[in-house]
């Protein structure tokens, strides 16, 4: 069986569907909006999220969940982290093995994506796919690497068989906690890096912030039961470097706009896709507080997004931290 169901027809979901087709799978992409699904079938392009990237005839597109899931050997859940619970409520009780391809912390419950799935689908075979991947580059078939993390070795092997190609290399990990923490925290830290750039504080400041951000990420990963080495891998440092060093990242570009004086509402009003770091920042901070971990950079970002601090005040708050050894 080489059928792959991809739930979520945003940029990343569409890119992963294209990658699964390249790997030889029989792939169906589910779009929540029926009109958009029809347009993608008719025009063979995801005009809203990946304009200019043709969809091959082998890729099926549907708005019917049952059609997407029929006979699937692997389910890629590629909806925003804040919508995972709602989508799961519409799915059947028995699911094929699931790879979560979203990054974040659920508001309210403060759970990581796999914790939400384990709560709602106990006993399901679960894993997470994460790494330094821009959707448009994966969609175009440019070289990339990612991590598939699961305590289920069979699931890791199945994901590799159904998704990997020479240009899309997958590495297995037994640390889904560390991989999820890296994916969530890097979005918040990327907003901070963008603020530094937008405010004109220089490359030295951005490099220092990213480095200290890795330290925050490592503290939280260990506190939640993850492994220190995961922080230095593709889903930690690798993803943070990609996301925090270029305006192609939605989180970094948001931060740049904030650093130049725009408001959060102004920036988000002109966007089609979800900027995960906005919802993740307060939830990540609350989860860290439960674990007794301080995240000064993430704390400043959360306060700024909530309107409790201005950009100069957020920068001053970080710079006023007590001196300490590295």
Q: Which residues are catalytic?
A: 186
Q: Any bridge partners for residue 45, and if so which?
A: 54
Specify the CATH number of the domain 177-319: 1.10.1040.10
User: How far apart are the C-alpha atoms of 65 and 91, rounded to whole Å?
Assistant: 8
Q: For 194-217, what is the mean pLDDT?
A: 93
Strands, sheet with 126-130, edge to edge from the N-terminal-most edge strand: 60-62, 26-30, 3-7, 74-77, 98-100, 126-130, 144-149, 168-173
24-75 tens-digit pLDDT: 999 999 999 999 999 999 999 999 999 999 999 999 999 999 999 999 999 9
Residue ranges of domains in the chain? 3-174, 177-319
**pTM assigned to the model:** 0.93
* Mean pLDDT, the chain, whole residue set: 94
C-alpha 205: how far from chain center: 25
- pLDDT score, position 174: 98
Percent of the chain with pLDDT over 70: 98
Closest CA to 27 of 11, 48, 9, 49: 9
User: Is there a contact between 186 and 193 (Cβ–Cβ < 8 Å)?
Assistant: no
Write down the CATH superfamily of domain 3-174. Answer: NAD(P)-binding Rossmann-like Domain (3.40.50.720)
């Amino acid at each position: 069986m080489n059928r792959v169901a991809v739930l979520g027809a945003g940029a990343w979901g569409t890119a992963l569907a294209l990658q699964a087709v390249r790997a030889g799978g029989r792939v169906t992409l589910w779009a929540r909006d029926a009109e958009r699904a029809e347009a993608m079938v008719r025009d063979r392009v995801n005009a809203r999220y990946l304009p200019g990237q043709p969809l091959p005839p082998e890729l099926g597109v549907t708005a019917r969940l049952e059609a997407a899931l029929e006979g699937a050997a692997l389910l890629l859940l590629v909806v925003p982290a804040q919508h995972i619970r709602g989508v799961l409520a519409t799915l059947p009780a028995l699911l094929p093995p699931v790879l979560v391809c979203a990054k974040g912390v659920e508001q309210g419950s403060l759970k990581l994506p796999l914790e939400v799935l384990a709560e709602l689908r106990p006993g399901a075979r679960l894993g997470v796919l994460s790494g330094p991947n821009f959707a448009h580059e994966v969609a175009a078939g440019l070289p990339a690497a990612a991590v598939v993390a699961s305590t289920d070795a069979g699931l890791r092997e199945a994901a590799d068989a159904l998704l990997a190609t020479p240009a899309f290399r997958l590495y297995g990990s037994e640390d889904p906690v560390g991989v999820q923490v890296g994916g969530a925290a890097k979005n918040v830290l990327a907003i901070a890096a963008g603020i530094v750039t937008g405010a004109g504080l220089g490359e030295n400041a951005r490099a220092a912030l990213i480095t200290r951000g890795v330290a925050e990420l490592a503290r939280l990963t260990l506190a939640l039961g993850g492994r220190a080495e995961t922080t230095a891998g593709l889903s930690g440092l690798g993803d943070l470097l990609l996301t925090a060093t270029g305006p192609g990242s939605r989180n970094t570009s948001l931060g740049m706009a904030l650093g130049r004086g725009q408001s959060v509402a102004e920036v988000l009003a002109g966007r089609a896709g979800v900027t995960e770091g906005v919802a993740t920042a307060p939830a990540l901070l609350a989860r860290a507080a439960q674990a007794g971990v301080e995240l000064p950079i993430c704390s400043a970002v959360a306060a700024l997004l909530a309107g409790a601090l201005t950009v100069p005040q957020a920068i001053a708050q970080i710079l006023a931290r007590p001196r300490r050894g590295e």
